[in-house]
């Protein structure tokens, strides 16, 4: 009988163990990485040098500290671009920008964070500038609140267990009690809204996107400076956003009867 996993090549497994560790932190000292991976120091060092020569790892000048490069992200983007949510959302995002003249972001959840998967920027000089692939705290955004609102309270509490809230501005959510108040409000209205919680001078509305199983897979947002996104503009923006996410969700195979209370992901 052939040995189970007979095809495995140990050196390749070690490379990916190191690579997966690299993206967990901003930077690693060689000794720290050796301790974390439990691999020999010479092995880790040689593999880092190989990954560095291929452009996947960079070395901080004048030190023995290493960091993952954006080439890893580029590979992920190449895979993600083939996913249907991008194809479904992109033309609708462009239409929203054409109608509102404001920036639209498509983001996906990553624990308590959201990651910008795609975006269509407006032509205004003054605009939101979170980069493609940027990672931001979900509870400081309309999109993140919209995604959290689809979770059960139990799952939200579990997700934030041990988390120290990091206010981005004086208006940011600063604790669980305030977070749950925002979650309940978002659930009741069907969309999330934040005003100067992520960055001073910006306002955002966000809503969830569902797949064919009725699960939240992403969120869409319209973000603009408060000087343009005034209180009287909220109803119009919300109407455009909610109809747009309904269209995208429909293209993803979602049917409204899938939804019953909160939806985990």
Beta pairing, strands 103-110 & 216-225: antiparallel
d(CA 246, CA 190): 11
Nearest to 80 by CA among 264, 263, 214, 217: 217
> What pLDDT digit, counting tens, does each position of 127-173 carry?
677 788 888 999 999 999 999 999 999 999 999 998 999 888 999 99
| Domains of the chain, first to last | 10-73 (1.10.10.10), 83-258 (3.30.450.40)
Q: Provide the 3-class DSSP secondary structure of residue 206.
A: strand
pLDDT tens, the chain, 265 aa long = 455 677 888 889 999 999 999 988 889 999 999 999 999 999 999 999 999 999 999 988 777 789 998 888 878 776 665 567 888 999 999 999 999 999 999 999 989 999 999 999 988 766 677 788 888 999 999 999 999 999 999 999 999 998 999 888 999 999 999 999 999 999 999 999 999 999 999 999 999 999 888 999 999 999 999 999 999 999 999 999 999 999 999 988 888 764 444 554 4
Nearest to 153 by CA among 43, 55, 19, 264: 264
Q: Which residues contact 9 (CB under 8 A, 6 or more apart)?
A: none
Q: What is the pTM of this model?
A: 0.68
Q: How many CA atoms lie within 13 A of 207 on its CB side?
A: 20
Separation of CA 123 from chain center: 24
The dihedral through the CA atoms of 90, 83, 9, 28 has a sign that is positive
The dihedral through the CA atoms of 242, 228, 185, 121 has a sign that is positive
> What pLDDT digit, counting tens, does each position of 234-260 carry?
999 999 999 999 999 998 888 876 444
């Amino acid at each position: 009988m052939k040995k189970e996993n007979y095809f495995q090549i140990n050196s390749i497994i070690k490379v990916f163990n190191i690579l997966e560790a690299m993206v967990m932190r901003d930077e690693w000292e060689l000794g720290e990485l050796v301790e974390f991976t439990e691999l020999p120091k010479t092995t880790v060092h040689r593999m880092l040098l190989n990954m560095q020569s291929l452009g996947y790892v960079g070395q901080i000048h004048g030190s023995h500290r290493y960091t993952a490069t954006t080439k890893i992200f580029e590979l992920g983007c190449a895979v993600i671009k083939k996913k249907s949510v991008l194809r479904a959302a992109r033309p609708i995002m462009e239409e929203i920008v054409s109608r509102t003249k404001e920036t639209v972001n498509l983001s996906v959840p990553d624990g308590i964070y959201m990651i910008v998967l795609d975006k269509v920027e407006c032509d205004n000089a003054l605009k939101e500038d979170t980069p493609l692939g940027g990672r931001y705290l979900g509870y400081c955004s309309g999109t993140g609140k919209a995604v959290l609102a689809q979770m059960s309270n139990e799952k939200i509490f579990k997700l934030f267990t041990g988390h120290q809230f990091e206010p981005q501005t004086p208006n940011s959510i600063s604790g669980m009690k305030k977070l749950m108040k925002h979650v309940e409000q978002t659930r009741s209205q069907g969309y999330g809204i934040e005003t100067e919680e992520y960055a001073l001078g910006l306002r955002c509305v966000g809503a969830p996107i569902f797949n064919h199983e009725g699960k939240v897979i992403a969120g869409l947002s319209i973000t603009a400076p408060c000087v343009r996104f005034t209180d009287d503009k909220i109803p119009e923006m919300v109407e455009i956003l909610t109809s747009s996410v309904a269209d995208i969700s429909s293209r993803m195979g979602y049917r409204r009867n899938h939804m019953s209370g909160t939806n985990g992901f």
